[in-house]
Each structure stands twice: as C-alpha cells, then as structure tokens.
Amino acid sequence: MLSSAAKILVCLAIAFMAVSMLRRHPHAAVSAGTAPVNKTLTIAQSTDADTLDPADENTIPTLNIARLLFGTLYRVSPTGQLQAYLAESYQYAEDGKSITFQLRPGLMCEDGEPLTARDAAYSFERAADPKLKFTGNATGFVLPALGYLGARVDGKLRFTLLIKKYNPIAIGLISELLISCQAPYEKMTKEQAATHPVASGPYRLAQWTHDDRIVLERNKYFPLPAPKYDRVIFRVIPETSTRAAELIAGDVDIITNVSPDQIDVINNSDTARVESIASVRRIYVGFNQKQKFASTPGGRAIRDPAVRLALQYAVDVPTMCEALLRTPCTRAATMVAPNNDHTGIPPYPYDPDRAERLLDAAGYPRGKDGVRFEITMQAQRDLYGDTNVMLAVGQYLTDIGVKTDVQLLDPSVYVPLIRQHNAGPLYFQGTGGATWSPLYDISDLTSPASGTNYTNWADPAFFDGWKQLDATRDPAAMDAIISHMLHVFHDRGPWLLLFFQPDSYGVSNRIHWQPRPDEAITLSED
C-alpha cells in the first residue's frame, strides 16, 4: 500500500503531466519538438520521396526535393525559358549528333571536391548503366527521348553528349537530368545512393525521417546564387484537410494539392491564402479507337470523326471548373500549353444543340428511349482530384443522348489498363506537358503505336508532320508544321479537350511565393 505522502506525490505528478500536456500548444514553425528556426521554409506534400538517387527519380514530390539537392546543366524558368545553370553554354555539332557543354568554373560537390566535366559525363553514364537497373524518369524517358549514345569528356570543364540525331528539344530534356558527383557515387551501393545523397545543388540532406519529413540545409560549397532559406523542410502530410489545418495553424508555409473544398477555408483564414495556376497538365477524355472496342456501339461510333467533333460541343468546361474545382479555367484549344500555342485556334464552345445536330447528321439519332448509343468511360479514381469532373463529363454526354457509364478504377487497375492501350472506349486522363516547347507537348502522339498514344489514333495528316519535322531545323518551318498538326488534331483528333489542370497551393501569408505552371516547386533566389 502507498503511504499518504506517496499518494500525494503521485497525484501531483499526474496533475503536472496533465497540465503540461494540455497547455496551449506552441506550434513550432519547424519540426516536432524543436524551437522555431529563422529562415526556415516548411513545405507539406502528400507523399514522401521514394528515393533520393539522382539517377532514379520519377515522381513530382521527389523531384521537388531532388532539384534542391542536385544541380542540372540547364533549368527551366517559371515562364518556360531554358536557363544555363551548372553549364554556362552549349553548342550543337554541325550534324546535330552531339552537343558540347561548357561547365561553370568553381562548381563543387557537397564534400568540397570540385565538380567537373567528368562528374557531368558520369551522371549520364550512371543513369544509362543497364547493370544498375534504374527505372526512374532519366532512364525510362529522358535518355531514350534524347537518343543518348554516350558522353565524352573533352576537358576539365568541357564534355560532349553523343546522340542519335539532331534533337530540337534536347536542352529541355537535359534540364530533367540531375548532375551528381562521381567519386562518392562510385563508392556507394544502389541502396546507399537511394538514401544518402551527395549534393551538387544549393542544399544538402540533413535529416530524413521516412514518411514524416526531409530536412535540407544550405550546402556551403554551392557557389551559385541560392534561395534565401537556411533550411527547407519537406513534411509528409497525406490528408488534404490536415495539410490545410497545419497551414492555417502556421506550422507549414506551403502546401500542395489544395482540394476544392479547402480553398474558401484557407482564403477566409487570416494566416494563409490559396495560389492557383493553370498547369501544363492537359486533362482530356480520350477516344480509344482500338479494334477491340469496335464491336460495341460506343466504340464503333467514336471511330467516326464527325461523332468525335460533336462530342466536343457537349461539355461546359468553364462551368465545371468554377463549380467543381472552385477555380476558373479556360478550355484547352489544342494539346499545347497556351504559352507555346501560336495557332490562334479557339476552344470549342459549349453548344449542346449543335452537338445533337451533328450527331443526328452523323447517323446517330436519339432512339425511343432518348439514347443515341451507350458508351463506357473508364477513369482513375481521384486522378488529380478530378473525380467530380469525370462524373460531370459522363452526365454532359448522357444529356445529349450518349448514355455514358463512368467506371472509376483504382490506380493499380487503371494504370496498367491504359498503358496497354486497353482503357476505353472513352477514358479520362491527364498528361504532363512542358512550358519550354510545343514539341514536347505533341510528342504524346509521336506515332500511332507510341506508348502515350492511348487512343490508337492513326490519322496520316497528323503523323506525317513528324517526318517533315525531322527534315528541318528551321524554327519558322517547324512552327508551320506544328501549327498544321494542331489544326488536324483540333478538327478530328482523338481527345475531347477539357482544360489545363488548375493547381492550387496553400501559401502562408508570412511568405511571398508564386506557383509555376509545370508543377515544380522552386524557390526564388532573390
């Protein structure tokens, strides 16, 4: 049995703990259990980095972190200009089959060793090394799209990339490849490289608590202008309402993917605001013309360009954006981001009567039950938060007599389906674009069989444009060819164009920060 004194002590201890736990919680601006630190920026994303290996990155949240850890030869400005970064210049060879880069002098790795042309060449060689079995963006897309053949060191600060043929978007592609330092990476296993990055950029990794936070601190050896923050913390907060609460409470400075229902909540707070921007991600409904769908009424109908044209008039895109995404948006006119679209093609207006007339004329009148034909639209549940948009599109089509069954599928089911070109006959999709070149945007459809042509569209009037593009290096001629291709795409293309995905970020009133249209989070160096 406890004595009376012991009982009193126990009671006091319990009371002390209760009071200390229930006192007004001082929301730290930095991390759990630490005091606020000046010049620290905290960014909350929905997922953690999967790997910090510079050659193996492939998700946007990971790249947002990796771009602060690793430099690139060139980089893309918020307005889509390609700017020299670790390199100071480049020169194409006469035949276009090689590009020589001159690096800036005085570059250093995190360990204080000089970063030279040997390191830059090694970054390409390492990403391309089949023995390392990388599956990231560099190996899976950038190097093949570049036509990479090899890298040659020409001097301490000079190296040459060898490519299969002249590639007009090479510098933009190279802006996605992170430069790493040879000496430390040669010593590391692949597993070590995934978790122990050796920085070549403005920050270095200070702490990584998986699924919780990544803390970056200034890389003292980085010689170029760097963002003003001493520390940048990336917190992992998967739930949108929790991210919004943390922002309003002042615990984080920037949050990504603000859901439409949180926009007013954040804007009505005294502490934060929502910054929205039309991204370069094109949201569309694809018409899959694969033979397997031709046996269904809907699959057969959408093979007819007149039907595809009619459906373009059926969807009220601005109203959908306003009502469902709580963000104004302009309907996409072509598959190219507005800043690179010089065609002057206007977006399709919302005109359901015209859509009905066109369908009548195409030979698809309403039946006794009011239905012209039935069709299935497959979509990935919650893709970019657009589930309500998917359902609304289905309803708009049903309203003009195209009875649409919207099937919402989990990513693990939908992604393999669409990558094998088996989603459809209608499918809802978003595809990333670029601010720096219209060619990147139209390269979704490089051939009828290309990986990203999920529609199996094969109109020669469009695809012959690629042969013409291959035959010229004159920018004006290229513009004219692209313009013709976009007109064909607009008139009888395989996409029901919707909008450029509006991205909404929550931003603390403590900071000035503007989002970019290419989904990247970058920090200004002013």
Partner 1 sequence: MALYMIRRLSQSLLVIFGVSVITFLAMHMGGDPTYLYVSERASNEEIIATRAKLGFDKPLSVQYLRFAEGLVHGDLGTSLTYRTPALPVVLKRFPATLELTFFALTVAVCVGIPLGVLAAINQGKPLDGGIMLMAMFGQSMPNFWLGIMLILSVGLGLRWLPISGRVPLLDPLLDGDLDTMLANLPHALPYLIMPGMTIAFFSLARTSRLVRSSMLEVLSQDYVRTARSKGLTELRVIMHHAFRNAQLPVVTMLGLEFGFLLGGVVVVETIFSWPGVGRLVFNAINHRDIPLVQAAVLTFSIVFVGLNLLVDLLYAQLDPRIRLGS
Binding site for partner 1 (CB under 8 A): 17, 20-25, 27, 31-33, 47, 50-51, 53, 56, 58, 133, 135-137, 139-141, 144-145, 190-191, 194-195, 209-213, 235-239, 241-242, 245-246, 248-249, 251, 410-413, 415-417, 419-420, 431-432, 443-444, 449-452
Closer residue to partner 1 (CB): 251 or 316 = 251
**Shortest Cβ distance from residue 238 to partner 1 (Å)?**
5
List the end-to-end C-alpha distance of the chain, in Å, as a whole number. Answer: 68
Closer residue to partner 1 (CB): 157 or 379 = 379
**Shortest Cβ distance from residue 137 to partner 1 (Å)?**
5
Q: Residue 377: which of 498, 519, 501 has the closest Cα?
A: 498
Q: Residue 76 pairs with which residues in a beta bridge?
A: 82
- Count Cα neighbours of 13 within 13 Å in the Cβ-side half-sphere: 6
Distance CA 256, CA 519 (A): 10
**Shortest Cβ distance from residue 259 to partner 1 (Å)?**
13
Cβ neighbours of residue 415 under 8 Å, at least 6 residues apart?
380
Please give the angle made by the CA atoms of 57, 239 and 20, to the nearest 5 degrees: 115
Q: How far, in Å, are 27, 28, 31, 33, 246 from residue 23 at the CA level?
A: 12, 14, 18, 15, 18
Closer residue to partner 1 (CB): 226 or 413 = 413
Closer residue to partner 1 (CB): 252 or 359 = 252
**Shortest Cβ distance from residue 30 to partner 1 (Å)?**
11
**Shortest Cβ distance from residue 419 to partner 1 (Å)?**
4
Q: Residue 148 pairs with which residues in a beta bridge?
A: 163
Closer residue to partner 1 (CB): 168 or 347 = 168
**Shortest Cβ distance from residue 181 to partner 1 (Å)?**
19
**Shortest Cβ distance from residue 431 to partner 1 (Å)?**
7
293, 299, 300, 302 alpha-carbon torsion, rounded to 10°: -140
**Shortest Cβ distance from residue 369 to partner 1 (Å)?**
35
Distance CA 449, CA 133 (A): 25
| Chain Cα centroid distance, residue 17 | 46
Q: Indicate if the alpha-carbon torsion angle 363, 368, 370, 376 is positive or negative.
A: negative
Distance CA 283, CA 432 (A): 9
Distance CA 9, CA 13 (A): 6
Closer residue to partner 1 (CB): 20 or 295 = 20
**Shortest Cβ distance from residue 127 to partner 1 (Å)?**
13
Closer residue to partner 1 (CB): 246 or 316 = 246
**Shortest Cβ distance from residue 194 to partner 1 (Å)?**
4
Closer residue to partner 1 (CB): 209 or 319 = 209
**Shortest Cβ distance from residue 209 to partner 1 (Å)?**
7
3-state secondary structure of 464: helix
Cis check for the bond before 425: say yes or no (omega within 30 of 0). yes
Closer residue to partner 1 (CB): 238 or 370 = 238
**Shortest Cβ distance from residue 102 to partner 1 (Å)?**
29
Closer residue to partner 1 (CB): 257 or 452 = 452
Closer residue to partner 1 (CB): 27 or 39 = 27
Q: Residue 504: which of 389, 390, 386 has the closest Cα?
A: 386
Long-range contacts of 166-169 (CB under 8 A, 24+ apart): 166/92, 166/95, 166/96, 166/97, 166/473, 167/96, 168/437, 168/439, 168/473, 168/478, 169/145, 169/436, 169/437, 169/439, 169/440, 169/443
Q: Greatest CA separation found in the chain?
A: 96
Cβ count within 10 A of residue 164? 12
Q: Which residue has the tokens 């529609």?
A: 455
Residue 129 near residue 122 (C-beta atoms within 8 A): no
Closer residue to partner 1 (CB): 46 or 330 = 46
Here the tokens at position 201 are 């950029």
